[in-house]
Every structure is written in structure tokens, then in C-alpha cells.
Copies of this chain bind each other. A is one copy, B any other.
Amino acid sequence: MEPKTYAQAGVDVLKAEAFVTRLKSLSKRADHQRLWPAAGGYAAVYPVDERTAMALTTDGVGTKLLIALELKQLSTIGIDLVAMCANDLVCVGARPVAFLDYYAVGKLVDEDADQIMQGIVEGCDQAGLLLVGGETAEMPDLYKGGHFDMAGFAVGLVSKEKLITGDKIKKGQKVVGVASSGIHSNGLSLASKLVGNDKNLKEKLLEPTLIYTKPVNEILDKKPEAITGVTHITGGGWRNMLRLSKDVGYKLTELLQVPEIFEYLGRNIEPDEMYKTFNMGMGMTLTTDGDADLIIKTFSEYGFTAKVVGEVTDSRGELVIDGVGARGGAINLKE
């Protein structure tokens, strides 16, 4: 049976969420008041002094690495790893500064390892990160053959002035959407099952994740108040926008072009499910109170496609996407 949801693809999101909830109660003993509140939980913001904090995040690339392995194209998966972490950092307004990787493999194969590291170095260049360390573990009893896993850890710095808390997102603000390069690094377990053995489509899935950090940092440097919210569209799809503030909703009416790969993946899947799982051609959104032009111009200068895709509404926790439902109607997603 062809899977039609993420759960059917073997990934139990609800179970994972329940685990995270239990984890939070476990670690409640720790004094989390030391952290500065920041939008969307994309990164933990730990103050160094009264004006400056470290932003900390970790991520992996999920099953995208299995596709890379299968196609023996390992040179860009490191870009994905860095992207997943670096894009999270700018969601809280931080400037990425340092990256560390964990790379575990059954048997260290020189060419593979070099390709993977090349990608990480390239990703760090794109993100403005310094690769400062890492751990390479050879574990033949855990990873079969050339199998491997990798995790990234990125650190940014953010001044109190630039910190994005989500509190400034208000009804009527514009939403700028920035185009993705394709599927990026989320929803791959489902996608790879849907494309089956089609090598061309698999290669499309491998397109590296875009790294949006430099334009975001440049805008914040020029005008810290120009951005009220940043969403990195990852697992959970466009619903991620709803993480930034509980007080608002969004209505998106002028969408970016949806890349072909999503048309293919969506043949037998409901639009709701698609927009809840994939980035659907939009890798990042930014909300702004009057500076959409500055945002679009800066992203364009870095080669990204960006446009106003909609606006902030007062329908709390509700994301309306026009024109993508049945017979061109709207769909309505909740967090």
C-alpha cells in the first residue's frame, strides 16, 4: 500500500510529541527561567550577560541521508545538516557563529567521509558559521555497511535588541514567503516511499536545503525592528508559522510557485496533509510591519525568490491557505 500520511510512512509524530511532553516535565526541575523567551522554540536562548545571549539548536537530516547513500551522492547532505540548524537560529534573530557535527558510521570510507565533510564545510560557508569541532565515531556493530547518521549543533549570538520573541506579530502585518529549493530535509520518509524506484525523482529529493541566514542577519543589522517573526518551514509544514505567537493567525493568498516534485508527491494525498508535512515550495516566512520591500530586496540580492504571500489575521491559531483545496478552495490548518 502506498502511504498517504506521515504516520503510514512509519513515523509516529504523535508518539514523538508525547515523548517530548514527558521530557519537558522530567527536566522541569532545571531552572528554565534562565532562558530568554524566543519565538517558536527554534533555539534555546541562554543569556551570557544582560545584553547578549547564545542561541543553541541541534538537528539531523532524518532519512534524507538514506537517499543520499542509495544514490551515492553524499556531497550535499552536509549542507542539509547545516541548513536545518542554521535556519533555526535566525528564527530567533541570532547570527550563526559556530557549528559542530557528530558523524557516526559503521565503517569509515575515506571518499564518503570526505564528501560528507565537504558538504558541511560548504554549508557553514553559506550560513556564516565557523566549523569548530566535531566527533567522528566508527561503530561497526550499530551501523551496517556504509550506513551512517549525523547530527549538527549550531550556536548563534543574539543581542536583546534583535531577539525575536513573537510578541510583535500583529494583525495586518504582511507575510513574506521565501522560495525553497525543493523538499529540503523534512517529510523524506513519506516522500521516498512515494517516489519508489524512480531515480530522477530521488535525485530531485536530494536537492540541498537553502540556507537563509545571511539575508535575515543583514536585514536585522540594518533595521532590527523590520522583522517581527521568522518561520523556518520544517517538520509540520506550514503549521510551523503558528508556533510563533498564540495571539494571531495567518491568511495566505498569493502563493509562491509550487515545485513539480510536490505535484507528483501530492497526486494521491490530501492538500491538508501535504501542507502539514512538506514546505510546498516555501522554506521560510517572515512577518513585517511595513518593511516587506526591504526584506524582499535583501533576499533577492542573495539570489532568493521572495514575495508577499499573505498577512497576519486575528484568527488565533488558524492558518488559511487560499486556492489549494478541493476545486480551488481554501484549506484551514491548526497547530
Q: Which residues of A contact B (CB under 8 A)?
A: 10-12, 15-16, 18-20, 22-23, 26-27, 29-32, 34-35, 43-44, 46, 48-49, 52, 54, 56-60, 62-63, 65-66, 97-98, 100-102, 104, 108, 110, 113-114, 117-118, 121, 124-125, 130-143, 147, 149, 151, 153, 155, 157, 189
Contacts and interface: CB of A to CB of B under 8 A. Distances in A.
A52 B49 CA distance: 10
A326 to B, nearest CB: 31
B20 A136 contact: yes
A98 B56 contact: yes
A114 B117 CA distance: 33
A49 B32 CA distance: 24
A118 B43 CA distance: 22
B151 A98 contact: no
Contact of A12 (B43, B101, B138, B143): B138
Contacts of A118: 26
Given A97-B46, A110-B19, A32 B130 contact: yes
A184 to B, nearest CB: 15
B108 A16 contact: yes
22 contacts: A16-B108, A23-B117, A23-B134, A26-B118, A26-B121, A27-B117, A27-B121, A29-B125, A44-B98, A46-B155, A48-B52, A56-B98, A56-B100, A56-B132, A56-B155, A58-B101, A58-B102, A58-B135, A59-B102, A62-B137, A63-B141, A102-B153
Contacts of A22: 114, 117
A7 to B, nearest CB: 11
A32 B99 CA distance: 12
A130 B100 contact: no
Contact of A133 (B10, B57, B140, B143): B57
B155 A149 contact: no
A323 to B, nearest CB: 33
A63 B66 CA distance: 22
A158 to B, nearest CB: 11
Contacts of A63: 139, 141-142
A287 B98 CA distance: 30
Contacts of A157: 48
A49 to B, nearest CB: 8
Given A110-B19, A142-B147, A132 B26 contact: no
Contacts of A134: 23, 58
A133 B151 CA distance: 13
B108 A58 contact: no
Contacts of A35: 130, 132
